[in-house]
Structure formats: C-alpha cells, structure tokens
Amino acid sequence: MDVSFLDKIQRYFGKSKVKPEQYSSLALAYIGDGVFDLVVRTIILDLGNGKVREFHKKTSNIVKAPSQARIIKSVLNELTEEERVVYKRARNTKSATSAKNSSIVDYRVATGFEALIGYLYLNNRLDRALDIIKQGMEREGFL
C-alpha cells in the first residue's frame, strides 16, 4: 500500500482534527502555496545541477501570481464542479494582504488556484493536484 506524503506527515506529527472543507479559503491557499512551490522547486531542480540563484529565478517566475493565474485559467474548463466551487470561493475572498507585483485580479485568481491545490492536497488527492498543475504548466509553456 502506498502511503502519501500527507499520511506520513500526519503519522509523525498527528492528524488534524479539522476537515479540509472546514478550513477558510485563505488557509487552503496558504498550504496550497507551499505545495505548489515544492512541486515547482522539484521540477526546476530536476532540470539539472546549477546555481541556486538560477533555480530561484526560474521558480519565482512560475510561482508568482500572474503565472499562477495563467495556469488556472488554462484548465478551468477541466475542473470538476467541486473543484470550481473551491476555486471560486477562494478567488472571491478578500485578503488582508495585497498584491505586490501583480494586479488584484491576478492575485485573487492565484489565491483561488492555491486554495484548490491546498484543498486537493489535504483531501489526499495530490495526483489530481499534480494533473492540474502539469496541464496548466504545459499549456502556458512553463514545461
């Protein structure tokens, strides 16, 4: 039996008493941002040995809000109804922080993307999250 990354974390540190559906959209986006960042860092590192500064530049270009917005927009039609609900709820959530180097629209769309990735991760559906990420990155020329 394959044990997921999430299962391993929960085995070592304890399982959350909160179900993924109970987290706020911004909490889902918080964990989704970390998951997406780890996926992108892994992809960049797998391209070969190099300078950390170059890894960081390539990663930053993909994980920034405008790029995330492009990725999710390119796969919106393939999302399930459940996934669309999670995405839209987060996209429409007002955040205490503001967009640093992007439009407020891109920032909110990216928040929806991150929340969706976080939701799928916390529901132990990382394969689906990776499918969405891969499809969007391929369509937008990041892969």
Q: Is residue 3 part of a domain?
A: no
pTM of the model: 0.94
15 part of a folded domain: no
- pLDDT mean over 28-40: 98
* 65: in domain: yes
Residue 27 lies in a domain: yes
pLDDT of residue 96: 67
Helix-strand-coil split of the chain, %, nearest 5: 70, 0, 30
Query: Is 106 one of the catalytic residues?
Result: no
CATH (domain of 121): 1.10.1520.10
pLDDT value for 105 = 92
Q: Is the pLDDT of residue 94 over 90?
A: no
What total number of domains does the chain contain? 1
Q: Please give the Cα distance from 30 to 69 (Å, whole number).
A: 16
Mean pLDDT in residue range 66-74: 98
pLDDT confidence bin for 81, thresholds 50/70/90: very high
DSSP state at residue 78: G
Q: Look up the domain containing 49 and give its range.
A: 23-139
Asked whether residue 11 is assigned to any structural domain, the reply reads: no
Q: Is 4 part of a structural domain of the chain?
A: no
- 64 phi and psi angles, rounded to 5 deg: -70, 155
Mean pLDDT of 18-45: 96
Q: Which of 33, 46, 106, 131 is catalytic?
A: 33
Q: Which residues of 79-101 are buried (b: 16+ CB within 10 A; e: fewer)?
A: beeebeebbbbbbebeeeeebee
Indicate if the pLDDT at residue 77 is higher than 90: yes
